[in-house]
Every structure is written in C-alpha cells, then in structure tokens.
C-alpha cells in the first residue's frame, strides 16, 4: 500500500454527511482499500460545519459564476471557506497523494455536473463542480481525479489507475 489516494470521507463509511449518514462505497471499502492507502477528507466538516447540518448547494447565474450557499438560508455563504480549504489541501497533499476520488453530485466534492440553482431556489439549468473539488483541480491540475461513480466503468477505472501509477512514479522520481 505505498500509494495514497485522497477520498471524500463519506465514501469510506464515515458518517459525515449533512444528515449524519455516510455514502459507503463497497468498491472503495472492499477493493480499493486493499491496494491503496486512503486518506479520507470531508471538506464541509473541515470548514467547521457540524453534523448534522443544513444542506448546501451551488447558487449562481451561470456555469462560470456560482458560489455555495445554504439551501434554506441564502445568507449562509461558505464559498470562501471551501476555496480556502481546497487550496490548503492542494498545498498540503500535493506531494503525498497520487490521486483523488470524489463523491459525485456534492456542492463541495462533486467533480462535475453538480446542479446550480438560482437565488430564488429554481434550478438554473446549468451545472458546475463542487467548490472544494474545483479548487483542488485548479491548484493541482495534473493530479489524477475521478468520481467514485465513474470507477464502476472498467475503461474509466483503468484510465484513472494508469494516471495514478504514472503520477506516483513521477512523484517518486522528484523526491
């Protein structure tokens, strides 16, 4: 288990979701766990949101202009804390992790296709990336990143692992 992957903590079975539940992935816990060291991270807990907590969502005017606000309380804006934590994570883990597995559809962890809403609560008809994931990807553009849901596709899974092993080799050469 020499290779470490960052991972959305709820996928490992940690009860860190807004409703106090988890999103345990059998694939992660039964398979990936045997071959990789997994480093679970929950950005929403890390920025100080409690468990349970009010759900949050992407709110904005386009797929290039959005933030993260409380689903019920629009005055609760956690965009900046998630960006700041994303930058800190990128800086802290860039050398130590060789890939990152993200929880799909999350306004924090989703890699893509996360629904954006109008301030009035209606869907905008556009989508973006979760704010933590977006910041991580922008700050570590070469880091292999994939959503857990897509790892069930053998082609995407193989592609991800090839990138992880290649990145890990490069990291070792740089040490």
* CB distance 7 to 98 below 8 Å: no
16 touching ligand SF4, by CB under 6 A: yes
Q: Rule CB under 6 A: is residue 44 a binding residue for ligand SF4?
A: yes
Both structure tokens of 142: 């070469």
Using the rule CB under 6 A, is 143 a contact of ligand SF4?
A: no
Beta carbons within 8 Å of 6's beta carbon, 6+ residues apart: 39, 41, 89, 93, 97, 99, 100, 101
8 binds ligand SF4 (CB under 6 A): yes
Q: Choose between 3 and 78: whose C-beta lies nearer to ligand SF4.
A: 78
Residue 93 as a binder of ligand SF4 (CB under 6 A): the answer is: no
Q: Which stretch binds ligand SF4 (CB under 6 A): 10-18, 91-99, 138-146, 166-174?
A: 10-18
Q: What sign results for the dihedral spanned by CA atoms 98, 103, 107, 113?
A: positive
Q: Does 101 bind ligand SF4 (CB under 6 A)?
A: no
Count Cα atoms within 13 angstroms, Cβ side, for 91. 6
- In sequence order, the β-bridge partners of residue 76 are none
Q: For ligand SF4, give the closer residue by CB, 80 or 158.
A: 80
Interacting residue ranges for ligand SF4, rule: CB under 6 A: 8-10, 16-17, 42-44, 103, 106, 108-109
């Amino acid at each position: 288990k020499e290779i470490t992957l960052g991972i959305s903590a709820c996928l490992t079975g940690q009860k860190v979701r807004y409703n106090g539940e988890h999103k345990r992935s059998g694939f992660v816990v039964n398979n990936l766990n045997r071959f990789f060291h997994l480093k679970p991270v929950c950005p929403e807990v890390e920025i100080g949101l409690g468990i349970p907590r009010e759900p949050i969502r992407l709110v904005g005017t386009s797929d290039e202009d959005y933030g993260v606000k409380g689903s019920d309380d629009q005055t609760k804006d956690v965009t900046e804390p998630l960006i700041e934590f994303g930058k800190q994570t990128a800086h802290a883990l860039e050398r130590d992790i060789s890939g990152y597995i993200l929880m799909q559809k999350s306004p924090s962890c989703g890699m893509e296709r996360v629904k954006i809403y109008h301030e009035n609560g209606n869907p905008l008809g556009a989508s973006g990336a979760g704010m933590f994931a977006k910041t991580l990807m922008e700050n570590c553009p070469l880091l292999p990143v994939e959503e857990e849901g897509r790892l069930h596709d053998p082609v995407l899974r193989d592609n991800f692992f090839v990138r992880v092993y290649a990145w890990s080799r490069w990291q070792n050469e740089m040490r």
